[in-house]
Structures are given as structure tokens and as C-alpha cells.
Amino acid sequence: MLFSEEYYRDLIAKLGLPEMPITKVKYQGKNLLNPKLFREDFLKISKKLMKFVAYNNITQLIDAGFPIDTIDELHKGFIPENITVYIKKPLEYGGKLEFSNMFLIRTRPFKNILDTFIDNQILSFNKEHPAYDMKNGFIYPTELYIPNPEGLVFLPALKGFAGAGGNTSADKMSEIGSTMFLKSGGRF
């Protein structure tokens, strides 16, 4: 059962992204693209998107808290640590591999929050749908609420929310190190 838009706005807010606009899309049919070719095409357009954003959206990158070295990596078409190119509208819902259907987002925590948001809808639909079969996998919901931010860079409301490591650390190893003390109960 698909809940109301208000329900999903509340859900994405509870997950930590109250500023993320959402929109409803309808299922168009299974994606028949070859997964290997899709991945290759996705990587090509992702590199082009990163270069485009690095040259044309520097203000948004800085506003989103991306360090200068990350922007430099984007200029070169590299995928920096903790950066994801996110597809707004899935192909099964009529999305295409084009800039207008993509945006840059921090992997930790934001991409992970969006994945949880989408997964929650798919799992809820499948639990209630009689055709759901644990052996054969899930079926796509007839309607889905998706993230739909304006622009090519997601700007979180909370500035400095996450460094490249996912918390305020500079990288993943610093994030792990910053939590080691907490895991040991404060004693070495």
C-alpha cells in the first residue's frame, strides 16, 4: 500500500533529510538494459557530470561543504571518496541517464538515507502484495516517492554535517579512528 505524500515527507524527515523535496513517479516497466552496458554508460555520464559540476557549480559544491581537494578531483573526472552520483528517477519509473535526472550527493550519510527511504517503500509494498515471493525476489511498487532536489548538487540544510568520512572527519579512516575510543568504553 502506498501511503500519502505527507507520510513520505515525514519519513524522509525522520531519516534525517527534512529539506529533501520528493515527488511521486509511476512504474513504467522493467529495465531491460544489459547491467554491464548500463554500468559503463552510467560511469561515462557520471564523469561528465562531475566535470561539468566542478566547472559550473563551484558555489554549490562549496555551500555543500565539499573541500577544495574534492572539487579538484571532480575537475579531473575522478569519483572522490564519499561522493555519489544519484539517479533521481529510476529507469523502471521512466528515468534516463542524463544530467537532469542526476545529482551529486555525499554517500555517507545522505545517499544511505535516500536508499533507506526507497527500500522502505519497496519492502512495504512487497509485504502487502500477494505476488511477493522470497525465492523470486521483490516486485516494483506501482508508484514510488523519489528524492527530487533542484540542481545538480544536493545542499543539506545542516552545513558541515558530514566530512568525507561520513561524520565530520576528513576521511573514512579518521571516522573509524574517531569512534574507536567510544567503542572501547573510553578505556584503552
Does residue 171 register a pLDDT over 80?
Answer: no
CA 110 to chain CA mean position, Å:
6
Q: Report strand pairing: 143-147 vs 22-26.
A: antiparallel
Dihedral, CA of residue 4, residue 104, residue 157 and residue 151, to nearest 10: -80
Judge contact between 123 and 138, C-beta under 8 A: yes
pTM of the entire predicted model: 0.78
pLDDT bin (cut points 50, 70, 90) of residue 63 is: confident
> In the 8-state DSSP scheme, what is residue 22?
E
Does residue 158 register a pLDDT over 80?
Answer: no
The pLDDT score that the predictor gives to residue 92 is 92
- From residue 130, give the alpha-carbon distance in Å to each of 120, 126, 134: 18, 8, 11
Cβ neighbour number for residue 186 with a 10 Å cutoff: 7
Domain boundaries, the chain: 5-157
Identify the residue whose cell numbers are 544489459: 34
Collapsing DSSP to helix, strand or coil, 130 comes out as coil
